[in-house]
Amino acid sequence: MDTTWIRGVIPPIVTPVDEAECVDEDKLRGVVEHVLAGGVHGILSLGSNGEFYGLDREQQERAVRTTVEQVNGRVPVYMGIGAITTKECVRLAQMGEAHRVQALTVLPPMFLTPNEEELYRHFRQIAEATALPVLLYNNPDRVGNNISANLLERLADIPNLVGIKDSSGDMTLTAEYIRRTRNKGFKVMAGRDVMILGSLVYGAVGCVASTANIVPALVVEIYDKYMKGDLQGALEAQFKLAPLRMAFNLASFPVVTKEAMNLIGVPVGASILPNTEASETNRNKLKAILKEMGALQ
């Protein structure tokens, strides 16, 4: 399976919704065009910033279909899967395949605490249910389950299980993922925006970065400069990005992504309840950060 195209900067795009919390297709198309104009290498629909958990089956399908249509083959489209049961994950994988996404990303189950053998069988069954490349998504802070290096080493032998996004924030774990799978053609991607450059240095092939919704060109600059051997330039771009990512704690996750996009003139509407919005004080702090980095005039 050719996976050379799994690389670079992949924003987990936000899902604009209307007052009834249904997908706003026009605004979603605008988000796609905004990130493509920034030079991203792929787009992830229904990631955690895409508020997959707040969309029913019909709206999830609508978001994916609209994204694939708007991208129109310009970059690969990845679809996120975040469900508790194996059966539901398989259904979602097959839905993504029907809508012609190029790859899937799969979170471990939330709420439950499966052991490593159960997680192995879960991920294997999902991978075996689709012909698409499958990437795992390690985000223990959100789902409560961590994908260990031992488990990943086993999973990397499944033919179409080809990579992982690591949002653990644990660089030791990211490095172990890379060290243990580097001879298998396995793709590791940074999931923490402040650790993109560090992950690339270890051997990651790119990042899935929420800040690339807001300042895609800056995130792409980190990757492009590193790939060209301009380590100092990549480092400066990484440091320039850091305050924006650190500002994500100014409201409930993932409110700040939408707040920032609305501020810079990419309308995406409100977050899905129960999340609401940032306080006026914190919104002003966010404005100041966006102005300092040149994203807001």
3-state secondary structure of 107: coil
Count other C-beta atoms under 10 Å from residue 275's C-beta: 15
Q: Which of 27, 53, 120, 165 is catalytic?
A: 165
Place of tokens 């920032």: 260
Q: Tokens representing 210?
A: 């929420």
Are β-strands 103-106 and 77-81 bridged in parallel, bridged antiparallel, or unpaired?
Answer: parallel
Cis peptide before 274 (omega within 30 of 0): yes
d(CA 280, CA 31) in angstroms, rounded, equals 24
- Angle, alpha carbons 267-271-272 (nearest 5°): 135
Q: Tokens representing 272?
A: 């899905």
d(CA 236, CA 226) in angstroms, rounded, equals 11
Amino acid symbol at 75: V
3-state secondary structure of 49: coil
Across 154-168, b (16+ Cβ under 10 Å) vs e yields bbbeeeebbbbbbbb
d(CA 69, CA 23) in angstroms, rounded, equals 14
Quick check: is 202 catalytic?
A: no
Q: Which of 137, 177, 202, 223 is catalytic?
A: 137
Quick check: is 258 catalytic?
A: no
Amino acid symbol at 232: Q
Known catalytic residues? 137, 165
